[in-house]
Amino acid sequence: MKITEHYLQLRKGLPSQKENDPFHITVKELSDLLCCSPRYTKKVINEMKEKQWIDWEVEYGRGKKPTLTLLKNQDELMYSMAKTYFEAGHFKEGLQLLPLLSPYYEKKLNEWLHGSFGYFEETKEDDSVHLLRYPFYHSIIHLDPPLTKSIHENHIVNHLFDTLLVYNEKTNQVEPSLAHYWEVDSSGCTWTFYLRKGVLFHHGRECSADDVVETFQRLHIGNFPNVWMVANIKEIKKIKKWVVQFQLYGPDYLFPHALCHEQLSIVPLDVIKSEPKFTKYPIGTGPYKVTAHDDTLMRLEVHPYYFNGRPFLDKVEIITMPDETEVPNMISYFDVNKQTDDTPMAWQEVEFPEEGATYITFNLWKDGLHQSEFFREALAYAINKEALCDGIEKERYFPAESQLISETNRATGHEYNKEKAKALLAKAGYKGETITLYGTQLRKNASVLREISWLQKEWSKIGVNVKIAVFPIDELIKKDRLQEADIVMGGFAFGHDLVYSFYRLFHLNGAFVRPLLDDELTGELHKRLVEIRQEKERANQLKKLIELEKSLIDKRVVINLFHRRHAVHVKEAALKGVSLERYGRVSYKKLWFK
């Protein structure tokens, strides 16, 4: 590898020199280019000549310089070098070469990389290691549970940590996890949890009540973005080594549901206090642990002493690719070469329609024509949801009337009527004012720009002028930025627990519902959410949440647009256990090789 680096250094120092074109140069000049001694330079020259990368002719006599001819194609060499790096697991070094390649070799390397992602079985003697490797398009920043922001970060955290309880979407019940049993008193305010014994963190220490107490105290005093999740906790105390008790300010029968959320995962008190890199190299009790993590590679390896059963998949490698690199993401990977075999039995489709929806909300804190319900209703009538889904991606999107797919299916449908829209505009007194519509951007080439552009175009057909822009979500939730917008496009993906996900929608700043309500509606929202927390029965909780959403829809404060549909096609006959879970992600814990 070193000789390769020397050749590339030489080519970099001689940018105008063409291949197969002889020129004169001295050993001293070469040693300056290579930043090494003349003696070592002669060794490098001989090695390059043996490899037939250069031709080196020495002419003896005063004033005569040696003749050097560069023979090796620089792109071909970098391509080979990048492959060597990737094969050795040095993805950072390999990816650094990618943008330096010519378009031909960049495409060739991308095609080669394509075959390096997927599921592999590495056999050694009578043992085998099962590995999943897939590309992703932005670095994973936070793995400290309460600081996670993206869906993918939550997905990874779910494999590194455990919560006190877990939610079973098949039974719609909260079930034991780190806590094997729990009870609540008659007031609904005192909750007691009994912990499993023998649960080990990745660094080998046993998890106890002290870790649970420290985890929640940290959430209270730290800069936790979703502090509302623990705001009802008045006190938490250790009763015994394996018993923890929570005292709440008021009755809350959604409290066990909150304890299932990744952001309330239990962390080890000793590590969190002493390890500044915890967010990058976290320690949890989960089925996998982080063994490598830089800006190009994250490697997860199985936690062999996992209390809930060792996973079958041994390693996961997530490679951070440049945005412009045309390599499929984790879900798309399963579609590799799908078109090469159309035999009906060759492919198994795994589909997952995602609860939650993309929607627009109106900023009732800001003065403007959008304060008029007639105006908001006019914009609603001017949206053809079917056409919107067809215009962005028909196979992945379908019209939404609610956050819940079941409620969308029960609805009579959305009326699209441009004439009604125009009549309502006149009733609202619209005179050509410019309306500002903002949306979110997750990263480069990943935003709702096409969706808000579609709305801009459609609303222009009824004469409404719309200014659009997208911002990173951290920027858009800032008060000053948010107050510039008349309308905001938001989106929310539900987890397994429909009730708690629905409840979270009305709390999160990044959902852009609660922050845009005026004082009257904010007060009404708070009152209803308290009633929902105090309701014991899940069916009644869900009913009240549906009624809450409907009240906002009826006032045209929220207009739901579309749901998402995820699907993968699996061909690998030896790969089993593929299932799409919440957010359309594949669980590593269930994968195995036949």
CATH of the domain at 240: 3.40.190.10
Q: Which DSSP letter does residue 151 get?
A: H
pLDDT the model gives residue 527: 96
Summary mean pLDDT of the chain: 86
Are residues 307 and 373 both part of a single domain?
no
Q: Which domain holds residue 488?
A: 351-566
Are residues 322 and 291 both part of a single domain?
yes
Of residues 187 and 58, which shows the higher confidence score?
187
pLDDT the model gives residue 337: 37
pLDDT the model gives residue 586: 62
In tens, the pLDDT along 428-467 reads 999 999 999 999 987 666 789 999 999 999 999 999 999 9
In tens, the pLDDT along 217-259 reads 999 887 788 889 999 999 999 999 999 999 999 999 999 999 9
In tens, the pLDDT along 551-565 reads 999 999 999 999 988
pLDDT the model gives residue 123: 79
- The residue whose two tokens read 């990263």 is 443
Are residues 431 and 328 both part of a single domain?
no
Q: Which strands make up the sheet holding 54-57, listed edge to edge? A: 23-24, 67-70, 54-57
In tens, the pLDDT along 48-75 reads 899 888 899 887 767 788 899 988 888 8
Query: How far is 454 from 437, CA to CA, in rounded Å?
Result: 12
Q: Is residue 444 part of a domain?
A: yes
Are residues 222 and 297 both part of a single domain?
yes
Are residues 318 and 421 both part of a single domain?
no
In tens, the pLDDT along 116-134 reads 777 777 777 777 888 888 7
In tens, the pLDDT along 301-350 reads 999 999 999 988 899 988 877 655 544 444 444 433 333 344 333 445 55
Are residues 406 and 554 both part of a single domain?
yes
Q: Is residue 590 part of a domain?
A: no
In tens, the pLDDT along 267-303 reads 998 888 777 788 889 999 999 999 999 888 899 999 9
Are residues 206 and 234 both part of a single domain?
yes
Check which CATH number belongs to the domain holding 20 and give it: 1.10.10.10
Query: How far is 281 from 441, CA to CA, in rounded Å?
Result: 27
pLDDT the model gives residue 97: 79
Q: Is residue 125 part of a domain?
A: no
In tens, the pLDDT along 526-539 reads 999 999 999 999 99
* Crossing angle of the two packed helices 27-34 and 2-13, in degrees rounded to 10: 110
Check which CATH number belongs to the domain holding 500 and give it: 3.10.105.10
- Say whether pLDDT at 492 is over 80: yes
Are residues 293 and 381 both part of a single domain?
no
Are residues 374 and 295 both part of a single domain?
no
Are residues 286 and 314 both part of a single domain?
yes
CB-CB contact of 285 with 174 (8 Å): no
Amino acid symbol at 303: H
